[in-house]
Structure 1
Amino acid sequence: MTLFSSMTQGLAGGLMIGASASIMLLAAGRIAGVSGLFARTLGLTKACGPDGLAAGFVLGLPLGAGALVLLAGPIEMRFPPLAMLLIGGLLVGYGARLGSGCTSGHGVCGLSRLSKRSLVATGVFMSVAAATVAAMNAAGLAW
């Protein structure tokens, strides 16, 4: 893969993420934060019960990935061990609820609205992620 094609692919992906977040905010008045959408899908928020818009968004994530595989063919993927996925998912989910949002809510939607809270949250997310990767590599736990 050449630099140009990978830059073009990254630009296209970023534009689609930005367009999706913008459409959801403009059309539905909702932030496209996946942790909040997932919580609303399961009816875990106190403000409202299960939400059809949220459920459609969450369902669209694996369906979109499946459509990509059908269109582009098999994609080589590597995953860490299942235990790491489960522990990481629980920690990220807890942190997202504790921090009032996830990387998509704060990093994509909050930063684009110039939210100071989202700037701090995204800085913390990125710093902790970098420290975690460095610690795992130093401990020989990189997969």
Structure 2
Amino acid sequence: MTFSLSLFPLGWQHYLLGGLLIGAGTGLLFVLTGRIGGMSTVFSSSWSYVVQRPFFQQARFTDSRGWRLVYASGLILGALVWRLGFTSGAAQATAVPAWQLLVGGFFVGYGARLGNGCTSGHGICGLGSLQLPSLYAVLTFMATAFLTANLAARWLA
């Protein structure tokens, strides 16, 4: 009981509900449209509106950016509904310094590009459709995350 409280001081039920909703949403997207809801492609296709570099102007980004923006808007709207409807309204904060968030964000973005997809694309959609390369990508993501978290805890403590 103490172990569970230390890992999940606010309870675990909302994490389970969130995971079920994410799985249902990406599954529904695939079943109804045949599209895969990975967020790194949503990010790149959104940038294709404003960045004219050849990478962002690939047909795979420009041809799909309409539905991907609607998909991303649904994620933002879902977070807003959660905040307004299911929390006390107090803003969440972190004690992590801004520079660490920026460096971490850079490495996550670089890793998503290097791995040809992000954790949502590989971890939710790829594993859900039993793709072996996605299993390798998720195992790599997780091993890197465990190693990085442990090294950061030792260096920054």
After the TM superposition, which residues 59-74 of structure 1 pair with which residues of structure 2 at under 5 Å, given as runs?
59-72=73-86, 73-74=88-89
Percent of aligned pairs with the same amino acid: 37
CA shift, 1:45, in A, is 5.2
CA shift, 1:109, in A, is 0.7
Counterpart pick for 2:39 among 29, 34, 38:
34
Q: Which has the larger radius of gyration?
A: 2
State the partner residue of 2:102: 86
Tell me if the contact between 1:35 and 1:101 (Cα under 8 Å) persists in the aligned partners: yes
Regions of 4+ moved over 4 Å: none
Residue ranges of structure 1 left out of the alignment (5+ in a row): none
State the partner residue of 2:119: 103
Does structure 1 residue 56 correspond to structure 2 residue 61? no
Superimposed CA distance per residue, residues 96-138 of structure 1 (whole angstroms, 9 cap, x where no aligned partner): 1111100000011111111110000000000000000100111
- RMSD of equivalent CA atoms: 2.3
Normalised to the residue count of structure 1, the TM-score between the two structures is: 0.85
How many residues get paired?
140
Structure 1 residues 84 and 140, CA gap change in structure 2 (3 angstroms): closer
Does structure 1 residue 140 correspond to structure 2 residue 156? yes
Residue ranges of structure 2 left out of the alignment (5+ in a row): 49-55
After the TM superposition, which residues 104-119 of structure 1 pair with which residues of structure 2 at under 5 Å, given as runs?
104-119=120-135
**AA in 2 matched with 1:77:** Q
Tell me if the contact between 1:107 and 1:118 (Cα under 8 Å) persists in the aligned partners: yes
Superimposed CA distance per residue, residues 22-69 of structure 1 (whole angstroms, 9 cap, x where no aligned partner): 111122221111111111122225124161111112222232212211
Normalised to the residue count of structure 2, the TM-score between the two structures is: 0.78
State the partner residue of 1:123: 139
Structure 1: distance between partners of 2:136 and 2:155? 28
Structure 2: distance between partners of 1:8 and 1:130? 24
Structure 2: distance between partners of 1:76 and 1:136? 26
